[in-house]
Amino acid sequence: MQTVFWASGIITVIILLVIIGYILIKGLPAINLEFLLAEPIDSGESGGIAPMIVSSIYVTLVAGIVAAPLGVGAAVYLAEYAGENKVVKLIRFGAETLASIPSIVFGLFGLSFFVIFLGMGWSLFAGGLVLALMALPTIFQVAEVSIEAVPRSYREGSLALGATKWETIYRVVLPAAIPGITTGVILGLARAISEAAAIMFVVGSALSMPISIFDPGRPLPLHLYVLATEGISMENAFGTAAVMVILILIITVVTNTLVERYQKKMMGR
Amino acid sequence: MNRIEVEDLNVCFDDAHILKDINIKIPKNTVTALIGPSGCGKSTFIRTLNRMNDVISGFKHTGMIYLDGEDIYDPKIDVVDLRKKVGMVFQKPNPFPKSIFDNVAYGMKVHGISDKDVIQERVEESLKSAALWDEVKDKLDKSAMGLSGGQQQRLCIARTIAIEPEVILMDEPCSALDPISTTKIEDLIHKLKDDFTIIIVTHNMQQATRVSKYTSFFLHGEIVESNLTERLFLEPEDKRTEDYITGRFG
């Protein structure tokens, strides 16, 4: 039986390595300094992807700034204040439902609500908001679990010293839950940063460099999608994919290192 | 003079009647031990004294508890102020995952003391009073989680002393510790009784005789007998007390 599990583990790792390896092998040759720093020429057949990298950073930042406080706030409410009642069940059910909605539906909603109804027009800001909605359930769910995992004895210790409930939450509970919350935020944003379907109707797909977040733009996954489906350049599509993979790897490794360092300091190991 | 007076205290959690007609007087600057078998209500009782039971659902009580003549369950009483006066040390050491310094400074910060010199000074004093200073003075910025269990418990005592309470409640503070750490905590209790009124719950009857002046014996949610510790152990008035301290049950 152990062999079966061992094999499952090995196969999973191999699949992962093959995919990443394939993308890097096909994509890395397209990447050079010009590719990273120049604007695209002829719809991306040549030139670079600098506006796409900036677009991706913009939408991810907007998504993070909107979704992280909202998700963590809801998690604090549910874990610390709400107890068990109908509203709580409704919020949890809402989060689960939100998580299972197909991303293209989010895109359609974003188009009709943010772009048209609220009159934001095609913009990276609207794209960021759609991605925030998508990242929200993950951030909320992981944050709630991390907050609930903080030992009761910490809370009691703080209350017994005369701290109020809120002081206990923000001075003891949240700092202790930060590693888990960070993981949740990164998980949620990693999904958002690699999303094409959710933003394709919303960001306007412009090729030029976005100056502000209220400009239209074209994040990396959308550029990749257009390059591949419109037969513009498979090489540059793979190049874009490789840049995306590397970006996500960097974000994951950097946050993991920071979280580990924080945990070490906190737990004295 | 009595620091705490409890009159006809009854405590229920939902339908379970945990404490029945508790009457006890706790004199100032003494150590009072509460002994009795598991589940007899000792811990519930001391958690009633700093209103830690308030947050548990289904908690109801009748009767009066006075701290320096003031009814602590009076609606006008601020729980935060009460807990500043009545500190608590728990069964399992529960330092926060913060630095040693921040653990001791926590209560002061919560109570609005922001003067760095005052905090610095009082952290040092508290750690000295808790007989921990020499062991940690060179690593105050290190996490408290890296300390041994006994050191962690003394840190929790230091953290409590730092807010200058009048009463310190201790809920089996040594039950998770080795004998050497236990001795250190007991020595500490001896020292602290000059400045604080200490109520200690203990399973260990030798410990009660070593540290306390008065002892109350709890059984099935009632106080069977309260007396000077020496008297209670040498000449128990109640048959049930005698059975318990001679090890016939419990």
Residues B228-247 have pLDDT tens digits of: 999 999 999 999 999 998 88
Q: Is the pLDDT of residue A261 over 70?
A: yes
Out of B84, B98, B156, closest to residue A162 by CB: B84
Out of B97, B107, B144, closest to residue A162 by CB: B107
Q: Are strands B86-89 and B167-171 parallel, antiparallel or unpaired?
A: parallel
**A178–chain B nearest CA distance, Å:** 12
Per-residue pLDDT reduced to its tens digit, A179-212? 999 999 999 999 888 899 999 999 988 888 999 8
In the numeric block, which tokens belong to residue A168? Answer: 């206990």
- Which residues of B14-46 form beta strands (DSSP E)? 16-27, 31-35
Out of A154, A175, A267, closest to residue B94 by CB: A154
| Structural domain that includes position A174 | 2-267
User: What mean pLDDT do residues A257-269 have?
Assistant: 87
In the numeric block, which tokens belong to residue B171? Answer: 């809920």
Contact residues, chain B, for A158 at CB < 8 Å: 96, 106, 110
| Structural domain that includes position B37 | 2-97+166-245
Alpha-carbon distance of B9 to B225, in angstroms, equals 16
Alpha-carbon distance of B91 to B94, in angstroms, equals 9
Alpha-carbon distance of A187 to B94, in angstroms, equals 31
Q: Is the pLDDT of residue B250 over 80?
A: no
User: What mean pLDDT do residues B100-117 have?
Assistant: 93
Q: Is residue B233 part of a domain?
A: yes
Out of A160, A266, A268, closest to residue B50 by CB: A160
User: What mean pLDDT do residues A3-17 have?
Assistant: 94
Query: Where do the H-state alpha helices sit in chain B?
Result: 42-49, 79-85, 100-110, 116-129, 133-136, 149-161, 179-192, 205-211, 229-234, 239-245
Q: Can you give the pTM of this predicted structure?
A: 0.86
Q: Mapping DSSP to helix (H, G, I), strand (E, B) and coil, where does residue A10 land?
A: helix
Alpha-carbon distance of A264 to B140, in angstroms, equals 16
The residue among A101, A108, A178 whose CA lies nearest residue A134 is A101
Residue A185: give its domain's CATH number: 1.10.3720.10
Alpha-carbon distance of A171 to A167, in angstroms, equals 6
The residue among B183, B153, B146 whose CA lies nearest residue B168 is B153
Query: For residue A267, what pLDDT is reported?
Result: 85
Per-residue pLDDT reduced to its tens digit, B147-172? 999 999 999 999 999 999 999 999 99
Question: Which residue type occupies B32?
Answer: T
Q: Is residue B202 part of a domain?
A: yes
**A140–chain B nearest CA distance, Å:** 23
Residue B186: give its domain's CATH number: 3.40.50.300
Whether the CB-CB separation of A35 and A242 falls below 8 Å is answered with: no
Q: Mean pLDDT for chain B? A: 92
Number of domains in chain A: 1
Q: Give me the half-sphere count of Cα atoms (radius 13 Å) on the Cβ side of residue A94.
A: 13
Q: Give me the half-sphere count of Cα atoms (radius 13 Å) on the Cβ side of residue A248.
A: 17
User: What mean pLDDT do residues A205-234 have?
Assistant: 91
User: What mean pLDDT do residues B90-108 have?
Assistant: 95
**B95–chain A nearest CA distance, Å:** 7
**B157–chain A nearest CA distance, Å:** 11
Angle between helices A86-100 and A124-148 (to 10 degrees): 130
B52 touches A at CB < 8 Å: yes
Query: For residue B66, what pLDDT is reported?
Result: 94
Please enumerate in sequence order all residues whose Cβ is within 8 A of that of A240, keeping only pairs 6 or more positions apart, or say none. Answer: A27, A49, A52, A220, A223, A224, A227
Q: Is residue B36 part of a domain?
A: yes
> DSSP of A72-116, one letter per residue?
HHHHHIIIIII-SSHHHHHHHHHHHHHHHS-HHHHHHHHIIIIII
pLDDT band at A269 (very low <50, low <70, confident <90, very high): low
Alpha-carbon distance of B230 to B219, in angstroms, equals 19
User: What mean pLDDT do residues B169-177 have?
Assistant: 91
Chain A residue with the nearest C-alpha to that of B159: A161
Judge: A269–B88 Cβ closer than 8 Å, yes or no.
no
Q: Is the pLDDT of residue A83 over 90?
A: no
User: What mean pLDDT do residues B10-15 have?
Assistant: 92
**A220–chain B nearest CA distance, Å:** 40
Query: For residue A25, what pLDDT is reported?
Result: 94
Beta bridge partners of residue B22, listed in sequence order: B9
Query: For residue A206, what pLDDT is reported?
Result: 86
B98 touches A at CB < 8 Å: yes
User: What mean pLDDT do residues A83-94 have?
Assistant: 85
Query: For residue A87, what pLDDT is reported?
Result: 85
% of chain B at pLDDT higher than 70: 99
Out of B110, B111, B146, closest to residue A268 by CB: B146
Number of domains in chain B: 1
Query: For residue A131, what pLDDT is reported?
Result: 95
**B49–chain A nearest CA distance, Å:** 11
> When comparing pLDDT for A46 and B216, which is higher?
B216
Per-residue pLDDT reduced to its tens digit, B186-225? 999 999 999 999 999 998 889 999 999 999 999 999 999 9
pLDDT band at A149 (very low <50, low <70, confident <90, very high): very high
B163 touches A at CB < 8 Å: yes
Alpha-carbon distance of B161 to B38, in angstroms, equals 28
Query: For residue B1, what pLDDT is reported?
Result: 78
Contact residues, chain B, for A178 at CB < 8 Å: none
Whether the CB-CB separation of A115 and A205 falls below 8 Å is answered with: no
Mutate to test the interface with B, among A161, A164, A167 (most CBs of B within 10 A): A161
DSSP run (H or E) holding B86: strand B86-89
Per-residue pLDDT reduced to its tens digit, B23-33? 999 999 999 99
Q: Mean pLDDT for chain A? A: 92
Alpha-carbon distance of A187 to A182, in angstroms, equals 8
Whether the CB-CB separation of B94 and B156 falls below 8 Å is answered with: yes
Judge: A265–B143 Cβ closer than 8 Å, yes or no.
yes
Judge: A154–B97 Cβ closer than 8 Å, yes or no.
yes
Torsion of CA A86, A92, A95, A97, to 10 degrees: -80
Please enumerate in sequence order all residues whose Cβ is within 8 A of that of B125, keeping only pairs 6 or more positions apart, or say none. Answer: B162
Indicate the DSSP class of residue B212.
Answer: -
Q: Is residue B66 part of a domain?
A: yes
Whether the CB-CB separation of A49 and A35 falls below 8 Å is answered with: yes
> When comparing pLDDT for B206 and B248, which is higher?
B206
Q: Is residue B130 part of a domain?
A: no
